[in-house]
Amino acid sequence: MTEPGGLFSGLFGRGAVGVTDVDWLQAMLDTEAALARTVERAGLAAAGAGAAVTAAASTGTFDRAEIGREAMLTGNPVPALVRALSAAVPDAARNAVHRGATSQDIIDTALMLLARRALEVIDGDLAAAAAGAAALAGAHAGTVMAGRTLLQQAVPVTFGLVAAGWLTAIDAGRQDLDRARSRLAVQFGGAAGTLASLGPAGSTVAGLLAHELGLAEPVLPWHTDRLRVLQLAAALTGVCAALGKIARDITLLAETEIAEVAEGGDHPRRGGSSAMPQKRNPVGSVVVLGCTRRAPGLLATLAAAAEHELQRAAGAWHAEWEPLTDLLRLTGSAASWSVPLLTELHVDADRMRANLAATGGLPLAEHVAAALAPAVGVLAAQDLVAAAAARAAGEGLSLAEALLADPAGAAALRDAGIGRADLDAAVDPAGYLGASAEFISRALAAHASRDGIT
């Protein structure tokens, strides 16, 4: 895990997602404190026990390093934490510490608390990033550029449509996080999921604990049912996929030879190189990709660890802690980086048009072939335009010039009733954008509806 204040924390731990060892310890203490308050409410502990445990449940009271060392004796840090917490409270309150719980109850519930806090932060950053994408989509609805398939120019699109695609992906990722957040549930089942040590009060205490922590109450303990964890991980990985696609698009469009977009930021050393003073690397996009590229591997680990045997897993549960922690942190960092990436992005509309024009109308070959098809047939039109396109590329001609210079092409144009003015219109990118404007409007309307924007 990236250490706070360490060499890589500003890159892979950017933002306010808190999943450090201190955060983990506090989440476990919060769980223990809530449990103590709950068993007091249920009449299973002395009056004031819950307040006493809550007062002691602060990370500053505990030696994290010592708890970590003692974890080697038991396979997890909870037994050592329980001993330390019990020693920190008055005798009358000790009966309320860890009452009815097992170690997995504390760690799983702490994980749910960490995830809830992290998802709130991530969603806030995603909302800001989505707002940036929406602004780009609206501002550049008519900014024509080359669409690119297999990294080659294809047909024209608008940059607004590109940004609208980014927007819908972010919003879809937020919806998945919403669903995952709704499934964050308390874990409280005791030794083997029966809460037998609490007698007839077991299920009552479980419900009260869920209410105390503001988590969902599951139908029954989920010690070896890890779908909840896996769905959370999948939602986080989906967000990383959406943000990684945006970052990859920006790195490609920011290439020196393309130069259609550039990252913002006024610091003179932003994007600098240790060897090449002229460099202005797209550092925001690069770091987003550095975060998001790791998500699929973490998800794979969690998927592999989802098979838990019988009533308690031997190792699979332990295998979840760090990958899920890393996934929360990295998704949070990618979301945080994506806010300035999208809200400060520089768009060069003139460069976009120039790059499209540099191909001499070749991206409009589909449009020209469609115009010729009624006169000569679809396949013949495709062949004529393909031959003209090859000649245009080889001889430095425009598509229109190459087609007019070819006797068969010129004859087909005459047969189709297509004059030079019509041909020029057919190779005008602005006239071949299809439903781009409608798609942008729909994306913006869906986004506005989600966030209540008027």
Q: Of 453, 444, 445, 384, which is closest to residue 418 (Cα–Cα)?
A: 384
Q: Of 382, 187, 337, 341, which is closest to residue 250 (Cα–Cα)?
A: 341
E strand intervals along 53-108: none
CA 160 to chain centre: 21
Mapping DSSP onto H, E and C, the string for 163-203 reads HHHHHHHHHHHHHHHHHHHHCCECCCCCCCCCCHHHHHHHH
Are 96 and 56 in contact by the 8 Å Cβ rule? The answer is no
Backbone dihedral angles phi then psi of residue 27, each to the nearest 5 degrees: -65, -40
Residue 420 CA to residue 407 CA, distance in Å, equals: 15
Are 105 and 191 in contact by the 8 Å Cβ rule? The answer is no
Q: Of 397, 309, 319, which is closest to residue 359 (Cα–Cα)?
A: 397
Catalytic residue numbers? 273, 312
Question: Counting runs of H as helices and runs of E as strands, what totals does the chain give?
Answer: 19, 4
Query: 47 is written with which tokens?
Result: 């009056």
Burial pattern 203-213, b for ≥16 Cβ within 10 A else e, equals ebbbebbbebb
> Residues with Cβ < 8 Å from 53, sequence gap 6 or more?
32, 33, 36, 37, 85, 89, 93, 96, 97
Are 127 and 340 in contact by the 8 Å Cβ rule? The answer is no
Residue 175 CA to residue 446 CA, distance in Å, equals: 12
